[in-house]
Structures are given as structure tokens and as C-alpha cells.
Structure 1
Amino acid sequence: MSSPSATPPRKPAPRRLVAVVVLVPVLAALALWAFAWPAARTAPRDLPLGVAGPAAAVTQVERQLSAHDGAFDVHRYADEPAAREAIEDRDVYGAVVVTPQGPKLLTASAASPAVAQLLQQAVAGQAAAEGTQVETVDVVPAPEKDPRGAALNSSVLPLALAGLAAGAAVTLLGLRGPGAAGALVGVAALIGLIAAALAHSWLGVITGDWWAEAGVFALMTLAVSAAVAGFAALLGPAGIGLMAATVMLIGNPFSGAASAPQMLPEPVGTIGQWLPPGAGTTLLRSVSFFDGAAAVGPALTLTWWAALGLGAVLLGARLKADATSPEPTPAREPATAA
């Protein structure tokens, strides 16, 4: 008795093959553009910088800074204490103070080590060309264990990945409605505690209030995870891919974590602050090094992402329940006697 012939393997459909061949290079090109283009075009663009001192001397400094066309957004202050206060309030990244002994440069490496270095090169280089020396004072220094901000910058991607993983897991495990929302909040809170324990207690790369930092880490994670689960609840599994692409290909390289939003090409810096990685980085710097100065804007951005994501999770569950619930059978009227 002859055995039945084996079914020949199915050949991939030509359209699917073409889609793979075309889509993968396009995604690779998009990723290279998103990460490489902002890095290659890093330069100051309307970077907030203060000047303080006598009016005539300040005017001269402003004229010198204007030689860097469009690089600095200059703010005038009456004296050095006012300039220091502006730096501590995150109104400016640094300030040039004109004193009888010569120019003094105030920086804040905690706000951005890259910007602090750039200001030293720009101001000190200009003074050296004129035969003078510039005293540099770091008003808000970066932590000794992370003077270049590398550890803080490196924390953005893991938290984004954690948020993506949490949102995808909640979706793929079939959690819906209040159960899914509760799981997202619980996971984010736990990640916040772990991240603060690692970054603050163990590594010592952030130095602010421990619980406030844990809250920032948790809110960053929840903003991403809730958005992933919310998109998936409304759009299906494609929502996971859409949010993942938004966070990884736009939010992460546009965050300005390695430098500052004003160091990225426009409108990259602005867009990055509308997304969780950029808003989270700015909020973490404010809470960790500046006693919460300028924290309201990024905190509201993260809160909106988290609230809208959780709202979408609840709405998606409600819509699915309404779509699957059987329609009530109309009651029959009792037959009347003839």
C-alpha cells in the first residue's frame, strides 16, 4: 500500500516577499536617520544664556555673542546673584558676568555637561582671542559619580523598553479594563522603586529627593506602558508596533538627553519634549538637581500620556464588551383570545 505523497511546502506569496525586502531596509534607513541626523547636526540654537553686569559691558558681551548667529537667546540680569538664581531656576543654562576683575562664566553641568563644555569653549575662546582669561564657576555641578551625565542619559532607553514591555505584556496576556489599568500602574510603581534604588542608592548618579525620583521613574514608565496598551486596546496588536516605533525611533533620539533640546535641529528638540523620553529626562534633571525647578511642564506631559493611555485601555475594553454582548431578544406579546 503506497503512502500518500507529502504536501509540497507552500512558497511565500510574492507580495509578502516584496514587502519584507522593501520594508526592512526602509525601517533601517528610518532608524539611521532618526539617530544619526540629530547627532550630526548638534549645535546651539537659541540656547538660553544670561549676561549680567554694567549696561555698557553687557551690551558689548551681547554683541560678541551675536556673532554666533542664532546660537544664543540672551537674557539680561542686573548682577551675579540674579544670574545664579536664573540658572538654578532653569531659565538659562549659564551666564556671562562682567566684573571689575574680568569676565566670569557661570555654568550648570547638572543641566547638561555638553552645554557647559560648549559655553566654556565659546566664551573662553572668545576671551582668549582678546588676551583675557575667564573664571568659570559651576553653579549646579553634575554628580561626582556621573560628571558627564552618561549614566542619566543611559537610563532613558531602559525605562522606555520597560514601558514597552509592560504595555505589550498586559495586552498579550489578555488583561482588559480596570485589571489592565491596575497592572500597568503596579508595574510602573515597582519599576520606579527599583530604578531609584539603582540610580540613587547604589550608583549615586542622581542626588535629589529619593521618593520624588522614584515617582519620576514610575511616571516615565507608566506614560509609555499605558500608551502602548491604550493604542493596542483601540487598534489591536498594530497599536503595539505603532507606539514602539514612536518611542524608539522618535522619542529616544529626539529626547535631547545627551545634550539639550536646544542643541537639536528644529523642530526635533520641541517634538522630543512632547514625548515621554524627552519629557522624562527633563523632569528627572529638574527633580534630581534643581529642587523641582521647571518641572511642571514635563510632569504635565507625562501625566497626559499616562492618563490618555489608561483612558484608552478602559474605553477599548468597554467597546469590545459592547461589541460581543448579545442583543436582547424582544419579548413576545401574549396572544389575545379571538
Structure 2
Amino acid sequence: MADGQREVLEGTPAPAQRHAAAETIAGGPLQEEGPGSLEPLRNGLIASLALIAVVMILMCSYASAFGKVSPHDISFAVAAPQAVADQLDASPALDVRQVDDLAAARRAVEHRDVYGALAFTNADSATLLVASGGSRSVQTALVQVGQRFAAASGTTLTVTDLAPTSSGNPSGTIEFYAIVFLAIGSALGATVLGRVLGTVRNLRHMGWRVGFLMFFTGLLSLAATVFVDGVYGALAGHPVPLFGVLWGYTTAICLACTGVASRFGTLASIVLTLTLTILGNPSAGGPVGRPLLNDFYAALTPYFPHGGGLSVLRGVQYFDGRGIASGVVCLVVWAGVGLLLLAGAAFRTGLRTGAAATAPTTGQPPTSG
């Protein structure tokens, strides 16, 4: 009896000769992802289109935030007659509030209640107070407004910078880029370390993981402080509190990404990282300052760690720690949510592990004596 007839009689189908020939031509079995399949090409095209979409979204986000900026509603103190205050308040660039005198105007700027102030010292002379450390672009916009007003009113204007930037960072933008790249490093570090160190098994293991993450963010922040301040001399102020700010900032982002990854998976952590990059970076303002951003990005500034971290960093550098409360709260909330998610994931994993360990013994029927 022929082999094909024997296999048919036994219930086994005979080999398809044309299928075997196709496998020979393809160089291997015609599996879904094997040689000769279009599956790798399709996956490559999907991945390429996804990466292009991400890049285009990044370009659109940054172009929308920084491409066409204009000053609007800059908080500004005025120690001058009511007519002068009303004239300045008519400008859409300013949000004017009146103060009593030059000392009150100076105090408002130094405490970060306003971005700048104008105080008349006599009938035909005034002092414009600015703080380039708060935002160089906002300071430039205020000087332009002040000069136009002085030229129109015949007033002699003196400009005083109460919080000047350092000689190594005259534009005041290096701290913004430090915030941006530390955010990327923290988010990527959380993702990579999560894959390398594995699942958080229980609450005790969670404590070890948090300690290791803080060790990582500490080293990252130390390297950034040494590079930006020690090598370039770009940051003003003592390096120890600056290191502390960067450490708290990177820890908040790292814990947030770790908590999301532990509770919802690596894909959710990647989505969070992209969101931080697409919306968090431009909403911090950085090179243009929050009062120059459009309403959408300006509204996001207080809620992303980038805006909070940059505000705290500039407050410590240029304003003796004033005006940092909202930024600290922002970072604490991000870190706290990350810790809660991580603790919940660790607790659930611990319960499942314990149940799996006891299942073989509790689930067996009792043996007879």
C-alpha cells in the first residue's frame, strides 16, 4: 500500500506537495512570522508610522508653544498716580496692581508676587524693577513696555535688575534645558530599571526599589549639578540646595513613571513619558516664560513637574527660596501618586504570590489514614 493511502486510512492527511514546494521557494516553513511572511514588513511599517507620528506631534507641540509668542497679562506692580496705572493697565501685555511706594514695589518683585514693577521717584523720573532670573524673555518684554511708556510720557527711566542671571548663563535658559533632559533621563531610567530589576513582589521589596531609584536619581542629579554648575558655572547660588532641588524633581518623575508601570504596565509608562515630553516640556515655558505662552500651555504649567521643578529651581537660585510653595506641592503630588500606585501594585502582587504558594496545600483533598 502506498504511503499516501496508508495515511488516509489512518486518519492523517497526506502532505501537500504544493505547500512543500512553496516552503522550499520561501526558504522555510510558511508560518505567520517565518521566512517568506509579510508580517515583519507590516510590523516595520506600523512602527515607522508610529514613530513619525510621535515626532510630528512633538514638533507641533513645541511650535505651538514657542513659535508665535506674545506677552499677555504679565503681573506688574505700579507705584504711581492712578492715571499712570490706568494707562499701563490698558496694555494687554500687563496685569497691573498698585502698590504704595518703591519699597513695596521692590518687595513684590523679590517675593515673586509680580514679574516687574514701575515706581515714580518724582514727577518726571521712574524706576523699572525687573528680575531676569525669573524669566529673561519676560524681563525683555517689560523693558520694552517701560521704554515705550517713558518715550511717550517724557519720563526718565532707570532699569534695575533685582535678580540678575549668572555670567555663565546670561539668557537664563540653561536651567530649563537641565529640567528637560533630567525629565527624559528620569522617565527612561524608571522604565529601564523596571525591566532590569523586575516586578515589585511585596511591600518590603517596594522599599528596596524606592531606595534604589532614589540612589539613581541622586547620582543623576549630582552629575547634572557638577556639569551645569561646576563646569559651566551656569547656575547661581550654592550648589547644595540646587542639587537638592534637582534630586527632588528627578525623584518625583521617576516615582511617577515607576508607579504607573507597576500598576498599569510598561505601555502606560511609555504613554506617560510621551505626555511629559509633549506637554510637560513646552508648558514649563523655559526660554519664553509663562506669560508669553498661549493660554493652553500656560494653564498646564502648574500641573506638570517640569513647571513645578523649574519654578523651585529659579526660586532657590535667584529669590532666596521665595515663591516655591506651589512648585514643591506639584512635585510632592507627582511623587506621592507614584508611591501610592507602586504600593498598590506591590500589595496586590504580594497577595497573589501568597495565594499561589498556599494553593497546592490547601487545595489538595485530605488523605485517609
Q: In the alignment, which residue of structure 1 is the partner of 2:317? A: 288
One-letter identity of the residue aligned with 2:149: Q
The normalised TM-score by structure 2 is 0.82
How far off is 1:334 after superposition? 7.9
**Percent of counterpart pairs with the same letter?**
25
* Residues 65-84 of structure 1 aligned to structure 2 (within 5 Å): 65-69=88-92, 71-84=93-106
Cα displacement string for residues 89-139 of structure 1 (whole angstroms, at most 9, x for unaligned residues): 000111011121412211111111111111111110222133433111111
Q: Does 1:150 align with 2:173?
A: yes
How far off is 1:34 after superposition? 1.0
CA distance in 2, matches of 1:160, 1:126: 41
Contact 1:261–1:269 (Cα < 8 Å) also in 2: yes
Cα displacement string for residues 2-27 of structure 1 (whole angstroms, at most 9, x for unaligned residues): 99822242102897577446534432
Moved more, 84-93 or 43-52: 43-52
1:234 and 1:98, CA in 2 relative to 1: closer, same or farther beyond 3 A? Answer: same
Q: In the alignment, which residue of structure 1 is the partner of 2:306? A: 277
What SS is found at the alignment partner of 1:288?
helix
Q: In the alignment, which residue of structure 2 is the partner of 1:51? A: 78
Contact 2:165–2:236 (Cα < 8 Å) also in 1: no
RMSD value over aligned CA atoms? Answer: 2.5
CA distance in 1, matches of 2:270, 2:293: 26
- In the alignment, structure 2 segments of 5+ residues that lack a partner are 1-19, 29-34, 201-205
Bigger fraction of residues in helix:
2
CA distance in 2, matches of 1:143, 1:17: 48
Q: In the alignment, which residue of structure 1 is the partner of 2:39? A: 12
Q: Of the two, which has the highest radius of gyration?
A: 2
How far off is 1:157 after superposition? 1.9
How far off is 1:79 after superposition? 0.6
* Residues 37-48 of structure 1 aligned to structure 2 (within 5 Å): 37-48=64-75
CA distance in 2, matches of 1:14, 1:239: 26
Runs of at least 4 residues of structure 1 off by over 6 A?
Answer: 333-336
The normalised TM-score by structure 1 is 0.89
One-letter identity of the residue aligned with 2:278: L
Q: In the alignment, which residue of structure 1 is the partner of 2:333? A: 304
Cα displacement string for residues 126-154 of structure 1 (whole angstroms, at most 9, x for unaligned residues): 22133433111111111122111132222
One-letter identity of the residue aligned with 1:105: L
* Residues 320-335 of structure 1 aligned to structure 2 (within 5 Å): 320-325=349-354, 326=356, 327-328=358-359, 329-330=362-363
One-letter identity of the residue aligned with 1:66: D
Q: In the alignment, which residue of structure 1 is the partner of 2:183? A: 160
How far off is 1:321 after superposition? 3.3
1:171 and 1:137, CA in 2 relative to 1: closer, same or farther beyond 3 A? Answer: same
Contact 2:302–2:326 (Cα < 8 Å) also in 1: no
In structure 1, which of residues 76, 82, 99 is the aligned counterpart of residue 121 of structure 2?
99
* Residues 112-191 of structure 1 aligned to structure 2 (within 5 Å): 112-175=135-198, 176=200, 177-191=206-220
1:283 and 1:25, CA in 2 relative to 1: closer, same or farther beyond 3 A? Answer: same
Moved more, 131-140 or 280-289: 131-140
Contact 1:102–1:134 (Cα < 8 Å) also in 2: yes
Q: In the alignment, which residue of structure 1 is the partner of 2:56? A: 29
One-letter identity of the residue aligned with 2:189: A
CA distance in 2, matches of 1:68, 1:41: 19
Aligned length: 330
What SS is found at the alignment partner of 2:90?
coil
What SS is found at the alignment partner of 1:145?
coil
Contact 1:261–1:270 (Cα < 8 Å) also in 2: no
Contact 2:186–2:250 (Cα < 8 Å) also in 1: yes
CA distance in 1, matches of 2:287, 2:36: 50
